[in-house]
Chains A and B, each alone.
Chain A
C-alpha cells in the first residue's frame, strides 16, 4: 500500500517535471522567440496595425469603431453620425474588451424584429428604399469588432455622407471605390470595404 502510494507519487512527480519542462519550452521560449522575431520584422502588424494621426493612435485598422454622435445626457450611446460611413451592428458596441456575437437563433423572434427595425432605420437614415439595404448592414458580426462592410452598404451610404459633409458625391463615391478590397488572391473571402480606413480617408477629403 505504502509502496504503491510512493510509486504513484513518483510517477506524478515525473509528470510534473515533464510539464514544467514543456512550460519552459512551449510556454516561454516559444512565444518569446515568436514575439522577438515579430517585433523585429513585422512590428506594425505585431502591434495591432495601429493607425496614427500625427503620432497619436486613433485606431487599429483591424478593429471596427463606432461613428456616432456624442450621446445625449443620460444615455451611453449616441445616434449614428451622418458624416461618417456607418459600420455593421455590433453585439458588444465595438468594445474590444467585449468581443463576441449576439448568439441569437435563426428563428429568434426578437432578432427577427430587430433586423426589421434596423432595416427601416438604415433605409430612413440613408434615404434609400428598405429593400435595398444589404444583409450585413442589419446583422451583427461574429466578433462585434468587424471593421468591414459590404461594398453595397458602402455605396448606399455615399449620398448621405456627401450631403452631411457637403462634399461632391462623386468624390465620396470614388473614395469608396478606392477602398473596396477584392477577394484575397482573387478567390478567398468576399469583397469588403474597411470602414475605419474609409472614414480615416474621409477626414482627408476636403
Chain B
C-alpha cells in the first residue's frame, strides 16, 4: 500500500469512527445535561462540598461559580507546584519557580496546557496526577458546562435561569469524562503507554552507554489530556514521546479522542434545542473547516521543496517521528490546533511555512472546528450569531437565531466575544515585538522568528497550548504575559457567553415561518464558514503577511 492510500484510509477511518460515536455520545451528553435526576454519588459530593445542586442559577450566579472555581484552582495548583518537594512522589523535583508556577497554573486551569517546562525534569508524579491532570478533567468540564448554559439560553423562555454550574460540572466529570478516560487509559496501556510510579531508572544501554528511563502515571493522564482537549504532555515531547504515544494505533486513537467530544457536542446541541438539523449544520461547518485544513497542511508537508530544509533533506521529517510519518503527523497537527488541544506528535516550528502557517491560522479561527470541549461549540455558536445577524437582515427581518432575537444586548456580548481574543493575540504579540529582550527569545530569525511569537500569543489566548517551541518563553515576562493572555482569553469570553445565555433565556421565542432565515441548510453552512474565514482572515491578515506568508512566498 502506498503512502497516499494509507493516508486517506486513516483519515476515512477517523471520520468513520467519529461518525459512529456522534449520535450515542452526543445524546448521552444531552441526557447528562438535562436529566433531573442526581446520582447517589453526586448527591454525596454536593453534600461534602456544601453546594446546592438543585438551585437553578441566574447567569451571573453561574458565572460566579465558574470564576470562583477557576480562582481556587489557580491558587491550589500554584501552591502545589511551589511545595512539591515537600510532598510524596516528588521524585526529587525542586519547587517550581514562581513565574513558571503561575504560568503553568493559569495554563492548566484555562484548558490551555501551554508548557514552559519539561515535564520530565520539572514535575513530580503527584503534581502531574493530582494537580495538573485534575485540571485536565475539570477545565474540560467547565467548558462543556458553559456551553450547556448557552444552549439553555436558546431553549428556555422567559426565565433568568441557565442551570446549575456545580451539577453540570460534577455530572460531566463523573458521567462523561471519567468513564471514557478510564476505558481509554486501559486501552492505551495495553497498546504500550506506560503507567507506573517509578522514578528515573538508570540503565546501561546495548552499546554500553548510560540512559535514564523515566516513569510515571502516563496513560491515565494521556487519555484525559486528549479527551478533554487539554494537551499538556507528561513529557516535554508530548505526544511525540514514545511513552505517551508509542505506535501508529495509539496515535490514531489519540487524534480520535481529542476530536470526539468536540464533534459530538453539536449533536448534544441539536438534541437539546429540539431540532437536530441545527446540530448537523454546525457539525458540517466544523467538518468542512477541519477537512480543508487537513488537506492544506498535508499537501504542504508533502510538498517538501517549498522550504529550504525540506528541499535539502528530501522530505519534511524534521520534528516528525518515523513511526507516524507525514500523513499521521499532519492529521494530528491540524486536529490539535483546531481543537484547542495543543498536544503535538510532531513539532510545528519545523513545518513548512504553509503547513505551520496553517496551524497558526487554525488557532486564529478561534478554536471552533470542532474546538475545545464546550468552548469550541460556544465559539462557533457566537460566530453563528454574528453570521445570522448580518444574513438575517438580508432576508428582511430583524435577525433571530433558534427563535431568539438578536438585538443590541445580544450583539454587544457577541461582539465583545469576537473582539477579545484577537485583541489579546495582537496586543500581546505587539508588545513582545516592541521589547528587545522579548524579541531575543526567538530561536529562529526573520519572518519565522516573528511567527514563533505570534504562535505563542495565538496559542495562549485561544487556549490551545501548542507552540512553535523554538521560542524560549520560560522568562518572567513571557510566563506572566502568556499566563494573563490565557486567563483573559479563557474567562472573558466565558463572561460574554454566559451573559448572552442569560439574555437569550429571558426572551419569548419567535415562531419559525417561511420568512425566517433557515439555519440548518447547506446555504447556512456555507455562509457560516465564509463569515468565519472572512472575519478571521481580515483580522489577522497583516500579521500573517509578515510571518508565514512572508516566509512562504518567495
- Touch test A–B (CB under 8 Å): yes
- Point out residues on A near B: beta carbons under 8 Å: 8, 11-23, 25-28, 30-31, 33-35, 37-39, 41-42, 45-50, 53, 56-60, 62-68, 70, 81, 84, 88, 94-109, 111-112, 115-116, 119, 134-136, 138-150, 183-190, 192, 196, 199-200, 203
Contact yes or no, A63 B213, CB < 8 A = yes
Contact A99 B211 (CB under 8 A): no
Q: Which residues of B contact A143 (CB under 8 A)?
A: 235, 237, 240-242, 321
Ordered by A's residue number, 13 sampled pairs between the chains whose C-beta atoms are within 8 Å are A14-B166, A15-B69, A26-B224, A65-B205, A70-B208, A81-B207, A99-B120, A142-B321, A143-B237, A148-B322, A187-B5, A190-B6, A190-B327
Q: Which residue of A lies closest to B52 (CB)?
A: A14
Q: Contacts of B13 on A, CB cut-off 8 Å? A: 187
Query: Once the chains are docked, how many angstroms separate the CA of A185 from the CA of B235?
Result: 27
Chain A residues with Cβ below 8 Å from B235 are 99, 143
The reply to whether A98 and B118 contact each other, CB–CB distance below 8 Å, is: yes
* Residue contact A12 to B72, C-beta cutoff 8 Å: yes
Asked whether any CB of chain A lies closer than 8 Å to the CB of B540, the reply is: no
Contact between chains at B313 and A135 (CB < 8 Å): yes
Selected contact of A184 from candidates B133, B248, B468, CB within 8 Å: B248
Bound together, the chains give a CA A102 to CA B208 distance in angstroms of 26
User: Is the CB of B229 closer than 8 A to any CB of chain A?
Assistant: no
Given A48-B196, A96-B211, A192-B323: A103 in contact with B328 (beta carbons within 8 A): no
CA distance A76 to B48 in the complex (A): 57
Interface core residue of A8, A50, A63 (most chain B CB under 10 Å):
A63
Asked whether any CB of chain A lies closer than 8 Å to the CB of B508, the reply is no
Instruction: Say whether B321 contacts A148, CB under 8 Å.
Output: yes
| Apart from the given pairs A35-B220, A103-B444, 6 other A-B contacts in the complex at a CB distance below 8 Å | A22-B173, A26-B173, A70-B208, A142-B237, A184-B249, A188-B328
Please, which residues of chain B bring their CB within 8 A of the CB of A56? Answer: 203-204
From the candidates A16, A59, A187, A203, name the one contacting B6 in the complex (CB within 8 A): A187
Q: Which residue of A lies closest to B304 (CB)?
A: A135
- Select from chain A the residue with minimum beta-carbon distance to B240: A142
Provide the residues of chain B in CB contact with A18, threshold 8 Å.
45, 49, 51, 69, 166, 169-170
Give the docked Cα–Cα distance between A84 and B206 (Å). Answer: 10
User: B347 contacts the other chain (Cβ, under 8 Å)?
Assistant: yes
A101 touches B469 (CB 8 A): yes
The segment out of B95-103, B178-186, B265-273, B488-496 that lies at the interface is B178-186
Give chain B's interface residues, CB within 8 Å of chain A: 1, 3, 5-6, 9-10, 13, 45, 48-51, 64-65, 68-69, 71-73, 76, 118, 120-121, 129-131, 133-134, 137-138, 166, 169-170, 173-174, 178, 181-182, 185-186, 189-198, 200-201, 203-209, 211-215, 217, 219-221, 224, 235-237, 240-243, 246-249, 251-252, 304, 306-310, 312-325, 327-329, 344-347, 349-353, 356, 443-444, 448-449, 451, 468-470, 551
B193 touches A45 (CB 8 A): yes
Contact B350 A103 (CB under 8 A): yes
Q: Quick one: given A63-B213, A68-B209, A108-B444, are A186 and B1 in contact (CB under 8 Å)? A: yes
* Contact (A49, B192) CB under 8 Å given A56-B204, A184-B248: yes
Q: Are A101 and B243 neighbours in the complex by a CB distance under 8 Å?
A: no
A-B pairs with the 9 shortest C-beta distances? A189-B248, A135-B315, A106-B307, A190-B325, A142-B240, A27-B130, A99-B237, A103-B470, A188-B248
Chain B residues with CB below 8 A from A59, complex form: 203, 205-206, 211
Interchain CA distance A11-B344 in the complex, whole Å: 37
Judging by beta carbons under 8 Å apart, are B349 and A104 in contact? yes
Contact B198–A189 (Cβ < 8 Å): no
Residues from chain B with a CB closer than 8 A to the CB of A68 are 207, 209
Q: Which residues of A contact B10 (CB under 8 A)?
A: 187-188
- Which residues of A sit under 8 angstroms from B469, Cβ to Cβ? 100-101, 103
A9 shortest CB reach to chain B, Å: 10
CB atoms of A104 and B1 under 8 A apart: no
In chain B, what residue has the closest Cβ to A88?
B322
Q: In the bound complex, do residue B48 and residue A17 qualify as a contact, i.e. CB atoms below 8 Å apart?
A: yes
- Given the interface contacts A34-B195, A142-B321, does A22 sit within 8 Å of B137 by beta carbon? yes
Identify B189's interface contact among A45, A57, A119, CB under 8 A.
A45
Considering the complex, give the chain A residue whose CB is closest to the CB of B204.
A58
Q: How far is the CA of A95 from the CA of B221 in the complex (A)?
A: 22
Contact B49 A17, beta carbon cutoff 8 Å:
yes
Residues from chain B with a CB closer than 8 A to the CB of A42 are: 189-190
Residue on A nearest B68 in the bound complex, by CB: A15
* Choice from A31, A67, A102, A147 contacting B129 with Cβ under 8 Å: A31
**Is B309 a contact of A14 with CB atoms below 8 Å?**
no
Find the A residue at minimum CB distance from B311.
A112
Known: A102-B318, A183-B6. A57 touches B213 (CB 8 A): yes
Q: For the complex, give the distance between the alpha carbons of A183 and B10 in Å.
A: 11
B51 adjacent to A14 (CB under 8 Å): yes
Judge whether B215 and A48 touch: CB under 8 Å.
yes
Q: When the two chains form the complex, which single residue of A21, A64, A136, A190 contacts B49, counting CB atoms closer than 8 Å?
A: A21
Closest to A81 in B: B207
Most chain B C-beta atoms within 10 Å of own C-beta, residue among A23, A81, A150, A186:
A23
Query: Are B196 and A46 closer than 8 Å at their CB atoms?
Result: yes
> A24 → chain B, closest Cβ, in Å?
9
Task: State the CA gap A62–B322 with chains docked (Å).
Answer: 12
Q: B71, B72, B349: which has the most chain A beta carbons within 10 Å?
A: B72
Q: Contact: A62 with B192, CB < 8 Å?
A: yes
Determine the chain B residues whose CB is within 8 A of the CB of A187 once the complex forms: 1, 5-6, 9-10, 13
List, in ascending order, chain B residues with CB within 8 A of A14's CB.
49-51, 68, 166
Closest residue on chain A to residue B137 by CB atoms: A26
Are A135 and B317 within 8 A (Cβ)?
A: yes
Q: How far is the CB of A49 from chain B (nearest CB, A)?
A: 6
CB < 8 Å: which of A15, A45, A62, A88 contacts B65?
Answer: A15
Q: Which of A66, A67, A103, A186 counts the most chain B CB atoms within 10 A?
A: A103
Whether A141 lies near B322 (C-beta < 8 A) is yes
Q: Which residues of B contact A116 (CB under 8 A)?
A: 312
Known A58-B204, A105-B444, A187-B1: A48·B213 in contact at CB below 8 Å: yes
Q: Are A65 and B211 interface neighbours, CB within 8 A? A: yes
Residues from chain B with a CB closer than 8 A to the CB of A33 are 182
Which of A38, A57, A100, A199 meets B207, CB within 8 Å? A199
Contacts of A12 in B (CB 8 A): 68, 71-72
Complex Cα gap A89–B95 (Å): 33
